[in-house]
Amino acid sequence: MQNLPDPARFAHVTDWVFDLDNTLYPHRTNLFAQIDVKMTAYVAELLKLPPEEARKLQKELYLQYGTTLKGLMERHGIDADEFLRIVHDIDYSGLEPNPALGAAITALPGRKFIFTNGDRGHAERTARALGILDHFDDIFAIVAAKLTPKPARETYDAFLGLHGIASGSAVMFEDLPRNLVAPKTLGMTTVLIVPRDFQPTFTETWENDPEFTQSVDFVTDDLAGFLGKIAPAL
């Protein structure tokens, strides 16, 4: 695992795969925090729970099923389309165009994809606000995954198969360490995106778990800068 990019380690890459939330935009933007609040509110309304209990249950569902949506579908048979519409009805005005990131993505050789547990509309609105939507070949969102979220291995297999991607020639950028386990097993290069001001307590979630540690090849708190060091050498 390295903190500085080694361009030689990316010379074989033909497909560049990016998670969306807290990966293509900084954690400090707190965009996903809005979704999180709406998910808690949805659980509270659905099950008539006080906010504290609803949030606790939401996190339990997330940990067990990979997403709150998947858990609510399994346990309560909710309508996925309605859930996705409600929780992604958020304010994107806090996002600003990121021309440096756009230039870095454009300079990468090969295809570029967004691979998210969110819905396609949210991914498009987010990428558009960042000014990078047109730099991607496609978006693989939760509906395309048949509502089975990362970190499920079958979802990665579906994504790779749909786009004819050879896993050994691909790299995955992701902010959740557990979502890098399957890509690493498949032979993808893996890059963990961390908050710029990340604390030791954050690193404990992956550094103290051997499975997660072995699944992370590189770590960066500056995606645009990381890509900018790779592309000129490719």
The mean pLDDT of the chain is 91
Residue found by looking up tokens 């996925």 in the block = 80
Name the DSSP letter for residue 2. Answer: B
- Alpha-carbon distance 123 to 113, whole Å? 11
Tokens of 199: 């604390």
For the chain, what percent of residues have pLDDT higher than 90?
79
Whether this model's pTM surpasses 0.85: yes
Q: What pLDDT sits at residue 6?
A: 87
pLDDT bracket for residue 41 (50, 70, 90): very high
Per-domain boundaries in the chain: 7-25+97-233, 31-87
**Residue 45: is its pLDDT beyond 50?**
yes
Phi first, then psi, for residue 91 (nearest 5°) are: -95, 120
Over residues 54-113, the pLDDT tens digits come to 999 999 998 889 889 999 999 999 999 999 999 999 999 999 999 999 999 999 999 999
pLDDT bracket for residue 23 (50, 70, 90): very high
Q: What pLDDT sits at residue 203?
A: 42
Mean pLDDT of 130-146: 97
- Alpha-carbon distance 31 to 15, whole Å? 27
**Residue 204: is its pLDDT beyond 80?**
no
First-to-last C-alpha distance (Å) of the chain: 21
For the chain, what percent of residues have pLDDT higher than 70?
93
Half-sphere exposure of 66 toward its Cβ, with a 13 Å CA cutoff? Answer: 19
190 and 171 in contact (C-beta within 8 Å)?
A: yes
- Alpha-carbon distance 94 to 212, whole Å? 32
Tokens of 138: 């496609």
Fold of 7-25+97-233: Rossmann fold (3.40.50)
Q: Which CATH number fits domain 31-87: 1.10.150.450, 3.40.50.300, 1.20.210.10, 1.20.1600.10?
A: 1.10.150.450
158 and 145 in contact (C-beta within 8 Å)?
A: yes
